[in-house]
Amino acid sequence: MPRPWSIELWRLTLTLAPAWLVGALLDRTGLLIACGLAGLLAWHGVQLFRLTRWLQESGREPPEVGGAWSQIVDAIVRSRKAARKRKQTLSNTLARFRESAAAMPDAVIILGPHGEIEWLNNAATVMLGLRARQDSGRRLTDLTRHPTFAAYLAAGDYREPVEFPSPVDEHLRLSARVVPYGRNQRLMTVRDVTRLHRLEAMRRDFVANVSHELRTPLTVITGYLETFSDDPYVQSSDSVARTVQQMEEQAERMRRLIEDLLTLSRLETTSETADEVRAVSVASLVADIETEARVLARAQGNAIRTECDAALWLKGNAKELYSAFLNLVSNAIRYSPGGGDIILRWYGDDEGAHFAVQDHGLGIEPQHIPRITERFYRVDKDRSRASGGTGLGLAIVKHVLQRHSGRLRVESIPGRGSTFTCDFPPVRMVQRAAGVKVVSA
Ligand code: ADP
């Protein structure tokens, strides 16, 4: 038995035994035992009083208590010591974190559950013009009002960073990233990406200018080649005719490359303007694409089928959507040399609207799938060139989808075929007349 408890037992015995003995002598056993117990209770009451007074008044020395009470006081003293040590370690860690975060070149802001500023470092003051004292507790969106930034913060999808101009200096370009943590708290870091932004703009301008400059000489060369091919001298010699024909084919390839490069840089440099965005009848768009693709498909022996919900329209830019969808359909034909069926589907569900192109062609090995939307990435360079590919088709598709808040999904089994699906969010969907299925074969 622990020592304090054996003392308590002795205390009880030494109180009750004399009470019982004297009581037996005086013939008042009950009364004297009751008196003994009352005395004991009073003593415990005094111990309890000392303990509670000590607990309530911080900074006092531990009370002088006896028996089991001393064990309780010792345990409390020990746990208070341990808590103090933990608190000290924690506040040291916090101080170190704050010091290092304050010294960081990137802005760091801690946001509370309602988007209110809980803490920020010096860089946040420089980049966003926020003041640690005055702005603490205010909502960040009331202070940094750029619409792109406000929409990003409200949307709650923080997988990608967002770029916006600094409210302090519009020439500064900032990139913000948010990490949710704890109970509805968010850690936001903001980097100055002005240099990167300028380099990126220079790269885009360079590609656009070079493509544009190449267009004119190429038009002249193509014109001469057309004249040559009609020339009786060229037609009289098979080898010269073949050479001119190859030159024409290569000039045509170059023209397609330039057109694709210009399309890409247009998609990168311009933003979606309201007057170009309207409800588009995707079923009609698909019908036009089908007509255009049929010629190519027939030459290769592919059959095209469509299954479209004609009542489902999409908010977007018809020209861009046409170019993206045509790229997918043309790929499906070019990479299905065996002549398999190609199915185009346009449908909606709870997750949004979807345009899917399914082929029964070559398929793609899984390791290539994450990279096929990169510019000039080809699984098989020779096949891509031989079938008239520029290596830019899927990069165009990806950009068009990004501008329509959409994503490209690729499912493929090598040797069996692929399905490329464009997913659009429900906000882009427009329901017109009652659901009509446009099916063609
Ligand atoms: P390309 O002009 O070379 O077709 P894309 O950007 O359109 O360029 O496509 C990139 C690569 O992805 C292609 O080179 C090809 O290897 C692969 N690919 C695209 N679509 C398909 C498809 N439907 N089936 C098999 N492979 C495909």
- The reported pLDDT for the residue numbered 100 is 87
Enumerate residues 6+ apart whose C-beta is below 8 A from 337: 300, 361, 362
Tell which one of 260, 333, 335, 418 to mutate to probe ligand 1, the residue whose CB is within 8 A of the most ligand atoms.
335
Is the confidence at residue 182, as pLDDT, over 70? yes
* Interval between CA 331 and ligand 1 midpoint (Å): 6
Residue 129 near residue 167 (C-beta atoms within 8 A): yes
CB of 330 shorter than 6 A to ligand 1:
no
Specify which residues 176 forms β-bridges with.
162, 190
What single DSSP character describes residue 63?
P
Show the tokens assigned to 96: 């170190």
Residue 358 near residue 422 (C-beta atoms within 8 A): no
- The reported pLDDT for the residue numbered 435 is 52
Q: Could you tell me the pLDDT band of residue 3, with boundaries at 50, 70 and 90?
A: confident
Is the confidence at residue 192, as pLDDT, over 90? yes
* Interval between CA 266 and ligand 1 midpoint (Å): 22
- The reported pLDDT for the residue numbered 1 is 63
Q: Is 97 left (phi over 0), alpha (psi -120 to 50) or beta?
A: alpha
For 203-221, what is each residue's pLDDT tens digit? 999 999 999 999 999 999 9
- The reported pLDDT for the residue numbered 76 is 92
Long-range contacts of 150-153 (CB under 8 A, 24+ apart): 152/176, 152/178, 153/115, 153/178
CB of 348 shorter than 6 A to ligand 1:
no
Phi, psi of 416 (to 5 degrees): -110, -30
* Interval between CA 358 and ligand 1 midpoint (Å): 13
* Protein residue with least CA distance to atom 21, ligand 1: 331
* Interval between CA 199 and ligand 1 midpoint (Å): 29
Residue 438 near residue 284 (C-beta atoms within 8 A): no
CA-based torsion, 249, 250, 251, 253: positive or negative: positive
CA-388 nearest atom, ligand 1: 2
Q: Mind giving me the DSSP string for 187-223?
A: EEEEEE-HHHHHHHHHHHHHHHHHHHHHHHHHHHHHH
- Average pLDDT, rounded, for the chain: 90
Show the tokens assigned to 359: 């082929």
Residue 233 near residue 287 (C-beta atoms within 8 A): no
Strands lying side by side in the sheet with 278-280:
278-280, 312-316, 429-431
Judging by DSSP bridges, how do beta strands 107-111 and 117-120 pair with one another?
A: antiparallel
3-state helix, strand, coil in the chain (%, to 5): 55, 20, 25
Residue 323 near residue 393 (C-beta atoms within 8 A): no
User: How far apart (Å, rounded) are the C-alpha atoms in residues 357 and 63?
Assistant: 82
* Protein residue with least CA distance to atom 2, ligand 1: 389
- Classified as helix, coil or strand, 421 is strand
Average pLDDT over residues 271-288: 83
Q: Which helix (H) or strand (E) holds 167?
A: none
CB of 107 shorter than 6 A to ligand 1:
no
* Interval between CA 185 and ligand 1 midpoint (Å): 43
* Protein residue with least CA distance to atom 12, ligand 1: 372
Residue 63 near residue 77 (C-beta atoms within 8 A): no
Q: Could you tell me the pLDDT band of residue 273, with boundaries at 50, 70 and 90?
A: low
- The reported pLDDT for the residue numbered 338 is 82
Tell which one of 267, 364, 420 to mutate to probe ligand 1, the residue whose CB is within 8 A of the most ligand atoms.
364
Average pLDDT over residues 230-257: 90
Is the confidence at residue 275, as pLDDT, over 90? no
Residues, the chain:
441
* Interval between CA 378 and ligand 1 midpoint (Å): 6
CB of 337 shorter than 6 A to ligand 1:
no
For 384-402, what is each residue's pLDDT tens digit? 888 888 999 999 999 999 9
- The reported pLDDT for the residue numbered 11 is 86
CB of 378 shorter than 6 A to ligand 1:
yes
Is the confidence at residue 441, as pLDDT, over 80? no
* Protein residue with least CA distance to atom 11, ligand 1: 378
Tell me, yes or no, if the pTM score tops 0.85: no
CA-362 nearest atom, ligand 1: 25
Q: Could you tell me the pLDDT band of residue 60, with boundaries at 50, 70 and 90?
A: confident
Is the confidence at residue 312, as pLDDT, over 80? yes
CA-373 nearest atom, ligand 1: 6
Is the confidence at residue 375, as pLDDT, over 90? yes
Tell which one of 252, 267, 394 to mutate to probe ligand 1, the residue whose CB is within 8 A of the most ligand atoms.
394
* Protein residue with least CA distance to atom 16, ligand 1: 379
Tell which one of 252, 334, 372, 382 to mutate to probe ligand 1, the residue whose CB is within 8 A of the most ligand atoms.
372
CB of 331 shorter than 6 A to ligand 1:
yes
Neighbours of 120 (CB within 10 A): 24
Closest C-alpha to 12, from 30, 31, 32, 39: 39
Is the confidence at residue 272, as pLDDT, over 70? no
For 139-175, what is each residue's pLDDT tens digit? 999 998 899 999 998 888 898 899 999 999 989 999 9
Average pLDDT over residues 223-248: 89
Tell which one of 253, 373, 378 to mutate to probe ligand 1, the residue whose CB is within 8 A of the most ligand atoms.
378
For 93-141, what is each residue's pLDDT tens digit? 989 988 888 888 999 999 999 999 999 999 999 999 999 889 999 999 9
User: How far apart (Å, rounded) are the C-alpha atoms in residues 332 and 337?
Assistant: 9
